[in-house]
Amino acid sequence: MKTVNLNQRIGKRRPSLQAYTLVEVLFATALTSIMFFAGLGAITFSKVQLMRDRERAVMSDFCTHYIETLKGINFDNLTPGNAINPLYDGIGANEYGKKVTIRIPNDASWVSLNSTNYQSFCPDLAYLSGRNPQMSLGLATTTSGGSVRTRQATLQVRWDAPLRRGSQEMLRMDLLRLRDIESGQ
């Protein structure tokens, strides 16, 4: 008697064991590695950008606060050497019993913001203490008929980039005060 395999009669073959070739495995590993490192680079880039944005927000807040304080000064007192506000003249103590002195700089040279005076003025500056924050305030006046008519304050701040990647970050704000508008003449 002749035995016939049932699978051969129907025309089906036994499924053979299939495996990936070495080239396919290496290609899949390389593709997965590329995608992994691209994702890792995107995460790092996103983190650096988030730090830059946070630092820019802190410095923008400082500049806005400083410029608004300069707006509150009497026009004739907006001169180098004067305190930016009676609260920051170094005579009276603040609510913590500390005397804070912040004066308008004599020239447009860079001044470090890593002092307790400036960090009392804007507490968020403590976040940037490791980035060497500095400010420069330039004052320019325009006279007409022997009296000062305008005062322009140019406030610039700079600080080191996060993770030391890139050049220094900078921000600038300007203030223009006119005597004629303020006095109503």
Distance CA 67, CA 79 (A): 14
Three-class secondary structure of residue 80 per DSSP: coil
Greater pLDDT, 60 or 98: 60
Name the least confident of 14-23, 25-34, 48-57, 156-165: 14-23
Residues ≥6 apart with Cβ < 8 Å to 158: 110, 133, 134, 168, 169, 170, 171
- 89 token code pair: 């003249």
Q: Which residue has the tokens 């004629």?
A: 180
Name the least confident of 43-52, 55-64, 85-94, 170-179: 85-94
> pTM of the prediction?
0.73
Taking only the tens place, the pLDDT of each residue in 78-96 is 889 888 888 888 776 666 6
